[in-house]
A and B are shown apart, each in its own frame.
Chain A
Amino acid sequence: MKRRGGASFSGQSLVELIIGIGIAAIVAGSVVGALVLSVRTNKYSIESKAASSLGQEILDQTKSLSEGDWVGLYSVSDKSASSTYHIDSTSTLVIATGTEEVLRDGITYTRWISIENVNRSATSGAITLTGGSEDPSTQKVTTYIEWAFFGDTTRVSLTQYLTRWSRNTATVFTDWSGSSGQDGPITRPDSNYFTSSGDINLSTTIQTGSSGYLISSTFDTGYPDGMKINAILWQGALGVGGTNSVKFQIASSNSSGGPWTFIGSDGTSNTFYVPSGPGTSYPIPVGQHNNKRYFRYKVQLDKDGASTSPVVEDIIINWSP
């Protein structure tokens, strides 16, 4: 009885032990799996956060560089989603080809940026993914950060548009009372001009009794790498009672000697930039007058049946280096 009972209880204890070990093994397996997953996820979170920080850092550097030297950013040779550059910050910020490696908390990250051209709609001015015209004043910059993670390569990326707006400048021409024949270049507006033609009255204003035009001296923006002319506008009065017009053409060049090809809205000499009235800017199409150091303007006034003449008091050209 004792032997049989003892054997019976011993057998039950062994079964319990085996069941217990089995449960413990299942629990331990699940626990270890959860811990491994948790540790892995935790490691990924820490490293991807560091990667994002490195990405933001290089975006900030690229923005600083673009504000100081837009043409340097825009003029890189390869412009595509697969282009590979990094910012060399050894002395001053410079765009260099290839990737760079950054060591952060014992992890080696490889980072680079791609630079792409951006198109805009000619009608709405909105950034478009298809169609439109390339806008040399907007660039798409994507930063990539890669690192090894448990034998695999992991990547995070950040995308941003950069635009050419810093050091925006408005050059105001407000006096034409001097004399013609001044070729330039001039670095600040004065009262002289290059030439005029037709019925044109010049003083601190420009007026016409019928029709005439004026061509300015060459203006030097002072930026060897050039600038982008953003817009042109004028101040004054259009006149009443008819269909007077005040319209412009602009010629730009990287040489103070020209050549001076005056163009208008469609990029030819057949058209003009025609603001809808005084005080209203005419945005220069994105593909025109980019990265040129010198410019001249031509203003044409036409009086057409109005009781009063058009009067131009200021001509304002807005540009960004």
Chain B
Amino acid sequence: MFRRRKNIGIAALPTILLISSILVEVVVVGVVLANALNNSRFSERVAAEAYAAANAGAEDAILRVIRYKNCPATPGCPSSYSLAVGSRSADVSIVDSGGGVITIQSTGTASMRKKKIEVILGASSNTGEVSLQSFREVSL
């Protein structure tokens, strides 16, 4: 009788500690997983901002190619430059790929995320008229 009472009394704290530790472990794992998921979603939101910045850089570069026939060889149409887009930015490169093809690559950056858009333009060597061949997101 005496021993039973002693055992019952001692069992309460370890039991609660055991259950609590299990509960803490489960919740910690859950929170960590949820946090990872949230980071992923946050990353997607930031990626949308980077994509918009990359688009802005591409749009700006196309207009420069139209205005400067021999782009990228003139001060108004440099082969590479940076563009502030609100609180984000885009790094743009313009390359004469030969054969009347101009390639624009614009990399938008938001926080740590980057998105890259590549534009292929056909440019007449005689008239400078520009036609869009492709405008797409490419891997970094």
Contacts and interface: CB of A to CB of B under 8 A. Distances in A.
B117 to A, nearest CB: 11
Interface string B23-37: 110011011001101
Contacts of A168: 66, 129-131
A159 B86 contact: yes
B13 A165 contact: no
Given A126-B81, A160-B59, A46 B49 contact: no
Helix, strand, loop or mixed for chain B's interface?
helix
A262 to B, nearest CB: 21
B112 interface: no
Q: How large is the interface on B (under 10, 10 to 19, 20 to 34, 35 or more residues)?
A: 35 or more
A231 B77 CA distance: 13
Interface residues of A, number: 73
B85 interface: yes
Contacts, number: 188
A16 interface: yes
A193 B60 CA distance: 36
Interface stretch (A99-107, A205-213, A215-223, A278-286): A278-286
Given A6-B5, A170-B124, A281-B68, 4 more contacts: A45-B37, A159-B52, A163-B59, A170-B129
Interface of B: 2, 5-6, 8-10, 12-13, 15-17, 19-20, 23-24, 27-28, 30-31, 34-35, 37-38, 41-42, 44-45, 48-49, 51-53, 55-56, 59-60, 62-64, 66-70, 75-77, 81, 83-88, 124, 126-132
